[in-house]
């Protein structure tokens, strides 16, 4: 923002970008005067919260949770990078609203399973995803690999350790939340989704788009853009 010579901005984030957006808003309310969270509801921290990876183990029980699976450096990279185009086809299709429930992505799975077995491949690409899109994604990850992205998960405990002063913090800026009705992340964080009116007191709208999954700005671009423009106009 300083590089762009801006004093204030609305910050919009999807998936990992949602916590990036709410941390920006919590830590620098002078800069960020409104927030849009896509797919991941605000997760208010409390003094009773265990370390994130401990909470994940409790959630998983006898199963594996994908964020725990990603903790070991090199393990997930080897699998995801073996056939990058196939990886992208699976992740984008399986976490969307297109597959039938039995073929959708699973965030909990058996410990004997590999991560790439947690979702299915499409016979044909959905309308919102093209082979040209996959060309771009595949070329990018062929250059970078997946380690940079996976390291987000490997630093979740470190982020938690460095921000105890945010326990009980409410997100006070005007906020818009949008997610897909069948997004597995909503199932994962159902409790946080249900209490957003309390944890985000100036929540303007909380929208679940029917039939959409995790990649809402790709699956439903016209609806997401319209909701964004209406929110901006009302500030």
> What is the DSSP secondary-structure string of 144-185?
H-SHHHHHHHHTHHHHHHH-GGGTT----S-EEEEEETT-HH
> Residues near 117 by Cβ (< 8 Å), separated by ≥ 6?
109
Is position 14 annotated as part of the catalytic site? no
Q: Residues for the chain: how many in total?
A: 235
Report in angstroms the alpha-carbon separations of 143 from 133, 147, 186, 191: 16, 11, 32, 38
> What number is the average pLDDT over the span 204-217?
98
Distance of CA 54 to the CA centre of its chain: 20
CA distance 161 to 235: 34
Q: Is the pTM of this model over 0.75?
A: yes
- Catalytic-role residue among 15, 49, 133, 157: 15
pLDDT at residue 30 in the model = 96
Q: Looking at 14, 98, 183, 214, which residue is catalytic? A: 214
Task: Tell me the domain boundaries of the chain.
Answer: 9-45+167-233, 52-156
The arithmetic mean of pLDDT across residues 50-75, rounded, is 96
Superfamily holding 9-45+167-233: Alpha/Beta hydrolase fold, catalytic domain (3.40.50.1820)
214 is catalytic: yes
pLDDT score at 160 = 96
């Amino acid at each position: 923002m300083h590089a762009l010579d801006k004093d204030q901005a609305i910050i919009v984030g999807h998936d990992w970008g949602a916590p990036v957006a709410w941390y920006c808003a919590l830590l620098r309310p002078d800069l960020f005067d409104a927030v849009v969270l896509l797919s991941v509801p605000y997760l208010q921290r409390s003094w009773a919260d265990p370390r994130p990876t401990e909470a994940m183990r409790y959630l998983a029980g006898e199963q594996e949770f994908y964020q725990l699976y990603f903790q070991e450096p090199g393990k997930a990279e080897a699998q995801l990078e073996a056939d990058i185009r196939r990886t992208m086809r699976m992740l984008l299709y399986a976490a969307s609203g297109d597959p039938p429930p039995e073929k959708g992505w699973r965030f909990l799975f058996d410990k004997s399973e590999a991560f790439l077995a947690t979702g299915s491949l499409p016979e044909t690409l959905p309308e919102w995803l093209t082979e040209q899109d996959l060309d771009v994604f595949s070329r990018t990850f062929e250059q970078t690999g997946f380690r940079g992205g996976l390291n987000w998960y490997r630093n979740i405990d470190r982020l938690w350790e460095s921000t105890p002063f945010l326990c009980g913090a409410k997100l006070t800026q005007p906020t818009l939340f949008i997610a897909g009705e069948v997004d597995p992340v909503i199932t994962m964080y159902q409790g946080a989704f249900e209490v957003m009116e309390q944890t985000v007191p100036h929540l303007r709208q909380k929208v679940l788009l029917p039939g959409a999954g995790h990649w809402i700005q790709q699956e439903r671009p016209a609806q997401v853009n319209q909701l964004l423009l209406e929110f901006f106009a009302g500030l």
